[in-house]
Amino acid sequence: MKIYSNELIFIEVEKSEIPWLKIFPIKKYKELSDCDEETKKELLNTMLIVEKTMLEYYKPTKINIAMFGNYLPHLHIHVMARFKEDSYFPEPMWGKKQRESKLNLPNFDGFLEKLLTKIIQ
Amino acid sequence: MKIYSNELIFIEVEKSEIPWLKIFPIKKYKELSDCDEETKKELLNTMLIVEKTMLEYYKPTKINIAMFGNYLPHLHIHVMARFKEDSYFPEPMWGKKQRESKLNLPNFDGFLEKLLTKIIQ
């Protein structure tokens, strides 16, 4: 689900038990180094805003960030709020499942409101 | 093995079949948002230099970047050159092994020389 878009980037939500957003450049770049300077700056700046908002709102155990794109050759940045009781912690979300988990997290809509306020500031 | 250090960051090599570096802030920050501005800028700038040098030198299928730190609460950025014939591709290096692989890559010393030249420029 797309939650934000401007002239350079857009943000999607990844369906998951954890808060997990993906930031894409609008133009289909493969690597961060391929991006024009303005897009690169916007991607990294948005990544930092998402991280900061997740830290403030969800108070996670750790933020995880990843840029893989091995399946989908369209650069994107995963930003994930991780909790010590989530199904994979301390493994990455791509690692071995550690437990059955039922997280009780603050409302996503509240997070989204805070995030969009920060982004359009 | 530490291959570079300045007043803000240091770079280590991760032992792996693929070219894989880890960039740490000297000060033990947990999250990217916790870093002072100068350190954050140096970390992200060094990440981009490592990515670019890997792309030029190894011509990998894809660059993978990750910041997890779930086991080790000292922020670090993994930068990995991935190849379609490596043991895990297209899975992340933390995913399920796909095959036995024997990569035939250009010499690491040559890469290191190019990288350090770029970093100290």
Strand order in the sheet with A62-67: A2-5, A9-13, A20-25, A77-82, A62-67, B62-67, B77-82, B20-25, B9-13, B2-5
Residues on A contacting B at a C-beta cutoff of 8 Å = 30-33, 40, 44, 48, 51-52, 55, 61-71, 73, 82, 89-92, 94-95
Contact assessment for residue A93 and residue A16, using Cβ atoms and an 8 Å cutoff: yes
Q: What pLDDT is stored for residue B15 in this prediction?
A: 96
Q: Which of B63, B66, B73 is closest, CB to CB, to A65?
A: B66
CB burial string B76-115: b at 16+ within 10 A, e below: bbbbbbbbeebbbbbbbbbbeeeeeeeeebeeeeebbeeb
Assess: ipTM above 0.90: yes
CA distances from B94 to A23, A33, B36, B48, B66 (A): 21, 23, 29, 22, 10
pLDDT tens digits for A28-52?
Answer: 999 999 999 999 999 999 999 999 9
Q: What pLDDT is stored for residue A72 in this prediction?
A: 84
DSSP state of B60: -
Instruction: Say how many C-beta atoms besides its own lie within 10 A of residue A90's C-beta.
Output: 16
Cβ contacts of A90 on chain B, cutoff 8 Å: 70-71
pTM above 0.95, yes or no: yes
Q: What pLDDT is stored for residue A121 in this prediction?
A: 83
CB contact under 8 A, B31 and A73: no
Closest CA to A58 of A97, A12, A111: A111
pLDDT of B121 > 90? The answer is no
CA–CA distance, B65 with A47 (Å, rounded to integer): 13
Residue with tokens 């038990």: A17
Q: Which of A40, A64, A71 is closest, CB to CB, to B68?
A: A64
CA–CA distance, A3 with A97 (Å, rounded to integer): 28
The domain that holds A98 is classified in CATH as: 3.30.428.10
CA–CA distance, B49 with B83 (Å, rounded to integer): 19
CA–CA distance, A48 with A50 (Å, rounded to integer): 5
Domain count, chain B: 1
pLDDT tens digits for A39-93?
Answer: 999 999 999 999 999 999 999 999 999 999 999 889 999 999 999 999 999 999 9
pLDDT of B93 > 90? The answer is yes
Contact assessment for residue B24 and residue B47, using Cβ atoms and an 8 Å cutoff: no
The domain in which residue A105 lies consists of 2-119
Cβ contacts of A59 on chain B, cutoff 8 Å: none
Q: What pLDDT is stored for residue B72 in this prediction?
A: 84
Range B14-24 average pLDDT: 98
Residues on B contacting A at a C-beta cutoff of 8 Å = 30-33, 40, 44, 48, 51-52, 55, 61-71, 73, 82, 89-92, 94-95
